[in-house]
Structure 1
Amino acid sequence: MLDDLDRRLLDILSVNARISLKELAQEAGLSSPSTADRLRRLEDRGVITGFTVAVNPAALGYTLQAVVRVRPMPGMLHIVEKIIQETPEFVECDKVTGDDCFIAKLLVRDMEQLDTILDRIAEKSQTNTSIVKSSPVKRRLPPLASA
């Protein structure tokens, strides 16, 4: 499990994953070697799986975000999954239980591009698409409280 110092390190990194080791140690109240050791242990345990960069899709010309629920036709599950995996505009996809098999997030430049991408899977699945108006909760860490 996580102790208070591990939680503190994760909280700091969730705000700025590019923080220097020295700054991270200072904010956490630890020495740099102790901080480095804790980070290594968190990585070894699979708690930290990587460090990433956040990008503003609109700044790259992706003006529309869509959530697409996908229900493949019988026998088409693996084909539809492969199409989703090979389409870079699908930036997230979860295989789920329930009526649909996949819930995916799609970034596109305009409605025409959205239609073109959805047409690729239309004959192999049923889709239900919702345009994202805003994101009141961005991707964030789950609660890190002790169990």
Structure 2
Amino acid sequence: MKTLDDIDRRLIALLQDNARLSTVHLAKSVGLSRSAVQERVQRLEEAGVIAQYTVRLGSQGDPLRAWLLLRYADGFTCDDVMPALARMPQVQACHSVAGDIDLLVLVQAGTPAQLADLREAVVALKGIDDVTTLPVLRTLLVR
């Protein structure tokens, strides 16, 4: 795929803000024809730049979220713990990071008790030495 230009980036930003925008609205916003925008969006989808369209819940539907900062036990790696984490539906994202923490895991639960149970399940996984839990109090920006 060719590199993204300013119009591609503007289209992506508009769709990130509201994935339901019509092609006509997108075209007017970036100053192109409807067909040109359709072609660009299709190219972005085919290239994997746009991977999916999703729904972001409003404040009434906000789940309880937390970041779990994991450290592996000696001799264990990401490959050892990721299969178990991937099987947990509450796990939303996992990021391998450098530094004192080995894995940054975003989780969500319906209640504080469910979050506590989830944390305990992660602590009990083979290969996990330590877990620090950082509950998300408020989300200020999502792109």
How would you bin the TM-score normalised by the shorter chain? 0.7 to 0.9
CA distance in 2, matches of 1:39, 1:107: 31
Which amino acid letter does the alignment assign opposite residue 39 of structure 2? Answer: D
Corresponding residue for residue 143 of structure 1 = none
SS of equivalent residue, structure 2 residue 93: strand
Which amino acid letter does the alignment assign opposite residue 34 of structure 1? Answer: A
Aligned-residue Cα RMSD (Å) equals 2.2
Corresponding residue for residue 142 of structure 2 = 139
SS of equivalent residue, structure 1 residue 70: strand
Corresponding residue for residue 16 of structure 2 = 14
SS of equivalent residue, structure 2 residue 69: strand
Query: Percent identity of the aligned residues?
Result: 31
CA distance in 2, matches of 1:75, 1:57: 42
CA distance in 1, matches of 2:82, 2:120: 15
CA distance in 1, matches of 2:7, 2:44: 11
Q: What is the CA-CA distance between 1:28 and the residue it aligns to?
A: 2.1
Aligned ranges 1:13-32 → 2 under 5 Å: 13-32=15-34
Tell me: CA distance 1:37–1:103, structure 2 relative to 1, closer, same or farther (3 Å). Answer: same
Tell me: CA distance 1:85–1:56, structure 2 relative to 1, closer, same or farther (3 Å). Answer: farther
Corresponding residue for residue 109 of structure 2 = 108
SS of equivalent residue, structure 1 residue 65: strand
Question: CA deviation digits over 1:33-86, x for unaligned, max 9?
Answer: 1111111222344332222221247526x3x22111011213443342222111
Aligned ranges 1:57-68 → 2 under 5 Å: 59=61, 62=63, 64-68=64-68
Conserved? CA contact 1:71–1:127, under 8 Å:
yes
Tell me: CA distance 1:94–1:134, structure 2 relative to 1, closer, same or farther (3 Å). Answer: same
Corresponding residue for residue 46 of structure 1 = 48
Which amino acid letter does the alignment assign opposite residue 142 of structure 2? Answer: R
Q: What is the CA-CA distance between 1:13 and the residue it aligns to?
A: 1.5
CA distance in 2, matches of 1:73, 1:22: 54
Which amino acid letter does the alignment assign opposite residue 114 of structure 1? Answer: L
Corresponding residue for residue 83 of structure 2 = 82
Q: What is the CA-CA distance between 1:30 and the residue it aligns to?
A: 1.7
> Mind listing any 5+ residue stretches in structure 1 that lack a counterpart?
141-147
